[in-house]
Structure formats: structure tokens, C-alpha cells
Structure 1
Amino acid sequence: MKGKILLALAVLSFHATSFSNETYATAKEAEAMVAKAIAAIKSDRDKAFAEITGKNEKWIEGDLYPVVYDLQGKVLAHGQNAKQVGKDLIDLKDPDGKLFVKERVDLANSKGKFWQDYKFTDPITKKILPKQMYCEKLNSMVVCAGIYKR
């Protein structure tokens, strides 16, 4: 009996680990998502933007998705909220009052590649959580994907 319980616990532990790895992105996965989005945008910008915004399954990995802005803070593609596309979000603040889109644009112009901290709604839990966004400047755009701190 004890062996069966240990086996059951091991199976449950494996499934819980698998689920969390599939659901919650890592920093490496965010960097890979940005690289993938940049390659797609370079290949066919309009198709990439449509797929990202249309929540094509190749652009959604658990809580990970890309977002693309122009350098004035206008959303060009958004992997979780199509209603944001075309909106100027340069003055958008997180719950702590941080102008995170403005900071993102400023960092893109000054650094090119960077990680940024702010707070945002997690698409899995629907709670506001600390988030880290990895971004890279591409021509007159900034391409990002982020991870939530849990």
C-alpha cells in the first residue's frame, strides 16, 4: 500500500510540474518568443501581426505571448488583447503608477535589448502580478514577451 501511495504522489508531482512548466513561462522562453516574433515580422510583417493578434496557437504558450509597439507607444500587435491594437498606450500606467509603455519605448531607444519590471494582469489567474518583460528594438518597433513573477 505504501508503495502505491508513493507512486501516486510521484505521478501527481510529475503532472503538477509538467502543468506549471507548460503554463508559466521562463525568461529563456520569453527571449525565444521575442526572437521568433522578430523573425516572423522580418519575413512577413502583416502576416505576423495578424497571427499574433489573432491568438494563433503558435504565438500563445501558457501565459506567454508577444506584444509589438511602435516607438511612439502605439500597439501594432497584441497576443492577448486585440482591442489594444491601434491604441496609443504611451501614457498607460501600471497599478503602482509606473508609465511602463513610455519606459519601454525609452529603453528600446537607449538600450535596444532589455528586461523591464512592472505589474500587469496575468492571463491565467486574472490577478495583477509583478511581471518582467523582455524586449528588443526592431527598426521602428519594440517586440516584447514577458513572464510573471510567482
Structure 2
Amino acid sequence: MRLKGKEEMIRLINARDPEYNYGALYLAMRDLGGITVAHPTLALIGKDLRDVPDADGKLFRHEMIAIANGPGRGWVDYKFKNPANGKVEAKTTYVLRIGDVALEAGVYKR
């Protein structure tokens, strides 16, 4: 993002550019208040999903926002539906604050 700039990264993420979207592995961007700024699922853009829990009831996005507003980088574990197989699986997401947004990239644990 430091090379391409925030607006170009938003465009590329939302366009599902293959450099940033590999199916179940993709980049998303959230502002520091929790609003989705960029996501390959366009219906999520502009949404505040902080209070939507994972499969176990964990409010994992609160943790993501706390990391972005605190240390600026870190991992969050939760359970989420894997789009590759439709099953709820353990997932971990790395959160990295850059300026006034947080980039997120998650992977499903096997």
C-alpha cells in the first residue's frame, strides 16, 4: 500500500485483483472505527461488522480494531465459514495498520 497508495489499493481489492485475492486468501481493508473500506465481497463495503460474531460468538472484529488502534500489527484467531468448502473452520487473520486504515489478510488453519 505504501507503493500504490490507499485509493489504488482500495480499487484493486474491490476489483478482486488476483495479486490480492486468491479465493479464500484475500486482502481486506477497514478504517480504524471498524467500517469496511475495501473487500472482494462488495456488499460488505461501508458496513460496520464489529458486532457480528464468529461461529462461537466471539466478537473478533473488536480484537482486530483494538490491534489496529494499539500496537498496529498482530494476529486474531476465530472461526469462520470457509468459502472453499462451506464449512466453519478455524481462521487466523493478520492485521496491519497503515496510516488511517488496517489491512487484513487471513488464512484457514488445517
Using structure 2 for the length normalisation, give the TM-score.
0.90
Give the whole-Å Cα distance in 1 for the aligned partners of 2:73 and 2:44: 23
Amino acid at match of 2:19: K
Deviation at 1:102, TM superposition (A): 1.1
1:51-72 superposed Cα distances (whole Å, 9 cap, x missing partner): 1112112211242100110011
Contact 1:133 1:144 in 2 (8 A): yes
Q: Relative to total residues, which structure has the larger strand share, 1 or 2? A: 2
1:77-136 superposed Cα distances (whole Å, 9 cap, x missing partner): 013x11100111121211111111111101222221101101112121121111000111
Runs of 4+ in 1 over 6 A off after TM superposition: none
Q: Relative to total residues, which structure has the larger helix share, 1 or 2? A: 1
Identity %: 35
Amino acid at match of 1:90: R
Alignment of 1:49 onto 2:10: yes
RMSD: 1.4
- For structure 2, the residue ranges without an aligned partner over 5 or more in a row are none
1:104 — aligned with what?
64
1:66 — aligned with what?
27
Using structure 1 for the length normalisation, give the TM-score.
0.68
